[in-house]
Amino acid sequence: MGKPGKSSAKTIFVCQQCGRESLKWLGRCPDCQQWNSFVETVVSTATPPRISTLEHPPQELSQVVTDAADRFPLPMAEFNRVLGGGLVSGSLALISGDPGIGKSTLLLQVSALIARDRGKVIYISGEETEHQIKLRAERLEVTGERLYLLAETDIEVILSQIEQLQPSLVVIDSIQTVYLPEIGATPGSITQVRECTLRLMHWAKLNSVPVFIAGHVTKDGAIAGPRVLEHIVDVVLYLEGEAFSAYRLLRCVKNRFGSTNEVGVFEMGERGLVEVDNPSQVFLSQRWGEAVGSSVVSTLEGSRPLLVEIQALTTPTSFGLPRRTANGVDFNRLLLVTAVLTKRVGLKLGNQDIIANVTGGLRIGEPAADLGIALSIASSFRDVRVDPQLVAVGEVGLSGELRAVSQLDRRVSEVARLGFKRCLVPKTGVRISAPKALELIPVSNLREAIGVGLVRGRASSKENKT
Ligand code: TYD
Ligand code: MG
């Protein structure tokens, strides 16, 4: 993308990163500081889609009618949970994720289920031919009555086709492949992505039909055609997972009709994505309770408690500065916990490399996992295992105190449900009673928690084994 020569009066230059417009070409965007991001674009002469017209004057809020049936549940419990109970008619939902993570697979599965339960669904692909989609469908054992396929990228053709079909759900795979011919920009550029999304949005609202669009993410993890897209759509979902793991998390980061933060857990199998309805069990399934440097925490993903294993390994630094590596836990929390362990508990970690790891590819951002991180580090450093029947919940403060965490009752009932015997909880704010067969151990600081949580004796000893 070099500097073009003369531009005609009808073109402008648009930054492909942030959408900033300029009359002349710029080497660097003054807004987002991206180099070489301006692309010459023909100004669209089409009138932008409008939702309100003169026939629709402003309405008083009390007079606006809502329909209880506006939201219909999907026959996929995990997906429903993420959407906050179901799909809202007329909503535009973006589902994005790395290439090959399973977006097309998930959307095809959802399409088939909706076609079965609610009527015609159209699946429009700009990436695969009908033949390729059929092959995938056979793999998923989708028969596909009332599921219509269309391999098309011209948004005007797409809109006229869906107008004719009047489906109950539209799927566009992916937004980066569709384009509006009257705009000079290439498909996937910010102008195309924005214009096409606006047109789909307009159609969805006018016809009260939900639309799903799949979107790619760029190298640095943002949705390509970047943030503008997230502003336009009603719902933004991310499908994420580790390349080496079959588990996929569907995460909601924006939802105009419900809560965000909810996650759904799926497993990629021979026949597509299968819902995982007991994720705690899955994340703990490979746990080997005797291991040193491993503890279990009860973390919240949205409103759902999840038990996950946190592992830590400490080794003497052989050269230079000690290194800290965080996989799945927040790097700054790891530094904080390490500092508190050094200063308040007296563990000499200053000459140790520390690696902390969340197993199963989950990422934990919340401070309630602090105590688990601390126990794992202390366990590895002292070469003593953590009580295998114990789960740790608590935020660590700078003076080594344990701080209360939100929704302790939910976390604790998940601990009891999975059959653990003991749960370390912060002393402050314990107002809950222990579920049956679970012992709640309130502790006020990190030193005390480590005294209770680590099993006495060397790692190899079998005493205290439960
Ligand atoms: P896909 O849905 O094409 O990903 P995206 O649309 O996000 O790029 O997923 C493709 C991957 O999923 C591919 O690596 C194969 C795998 N897969 C399965 O493991 N099982 C299946 O039943 C299907 C259809 C795909
Ligand atoms: Mg795909």
Cβ neighbours of residue 53 closer than 8 Å, sequence gap 6 or more: none
Minimal-distance CA residue to ligand 1 atom 8 = 100
Q: How does pLDDT run across 375-408, given as a tens digit for each residue? A: 999 999 999 999 999 999 999 999 999 999 998 9
Nearest Cα neighbor of 310 from 360, 246, 247 is: 360
Atom of ligand 1 nearest to the CA of 140: 22
% of the chain at pLDDT higher than 90: 48
3-state secondary structure of 191: helix
Confidence of residue 8 (pLDDT cuts 50, 70, 90): very low
Whether residue 435 has pLDDT greater than 90: no
Distance 105 CA to ligand 1 centre (A): 6
Any atom of ligand 1 within 6 Å of the Cβ of 99: yes
Backbone angles phi, psi at 109, to 5 degrees: -65, -45
The pLDDT score that the predictor gives to residue 48 is: 58
- DSSP class of 401: B
DSSP class per residue in 75-119: S-HHHHHHHTSSEETT-EEEEEESTTSSHHHHHHHHHHHHHHHHS
Atom of ligand 1 nearest to the CA of 127: 6
Q: How does pLDDT run across 78-111, given as a tens digit for each residue? A: 898 888 888 888 999 999 888 888 999 999 999 9
The pLDDT score that the predictor gives to residue 45 is: 58
Confidence of residue 63 (pLDDT cuts 50, 70, 90): confident
The pLDDT score that the predictor gives to residue 7 is: 38
Minimal-distance CA residue to ligand 1 atom 17 = 272
Q: How does pLDDT run across 103-146, given as a tens digit for each residue? A: 999 999 999 999 998 899 999 999 899 899 999 999 988 888 89
Any atom of ligand 1 within 6 Å of the Cβ of 103: yes
Identify whether the C-beta of residue 394 lies closer than 8 Å to the C-beta of residue 429: no
* Higher local confidence (pLDDT), 67 or 408: 408
What is the pLDDT averaged over residues 47-57?
62
* Geometric angle at alpha carbon 236, from 360 and 121, rounded to 5°: 100
Distance 366 CA to ligand 1 centre (A): 31
H-state helical runs in 273-400:
279-284, 331-340, 370-382
Atom of ligand 1 nearest to the CA of 101: 7
* Higher local confidence (pLDDT), 434 or 350: 350
The pLDDT score that the predictor gives to residue 5 is: 43
Identify whether the C-beta of residue 228 lies closer than 8 Å to the C-beta of residue 249: no
Confidence of residue 4 (pLDDT cuts 50, 70, 90): very low
Q: How does pLDDT run across 212-225, given as a tens digit for each residue? A: 999 887 655 555 55
The strand order across the sheet containing 169-173 reads: 147-151, 121-125, 169-173, 211-216, 92-97, 235-240, 247-255, 263-269, 272-275
Q: How does pLDDT run across 202-213, given as a tens digit for each residue? A: 999 999 999 999
3-state secondary structure of 212: strand
Any atom of ligand 1 within 6 Å of the Cβ of 109: no
Any atom of ligand 1 within 6 Å of the Cβ of 243: no
Pairing of strands 422-426, 87-88: unpaired
Any atom of ligand 1 within 6 Å of the Cβ of 107: no
Q: How does pLDDT run across 301-329, given as a tens digit for each residue? A: 877 888 999 999 999 998 889 999 999 89
Question: What mean pLDDT, rounded, does the chain reach?
Answer: 85
The pLDDT score that the predictor gives to residue 57 is: 79
- As a whole number of angstroms, the distance between CA 337 and CA 371 comes to 8
Q: How does pLDDT run across 246-279, given as a tens digit for each residue? A: 888 898 888 888 777 788 889 988 889 999 888 8
- As a whole number of angstroms, the distance between CA 386 and CA 290 comes to 8
Nearest Cα neighbor of 418 from 232, 309, 259, 278 is: 278
* Higher local confidence (pLDDT), 131 or 63: 131
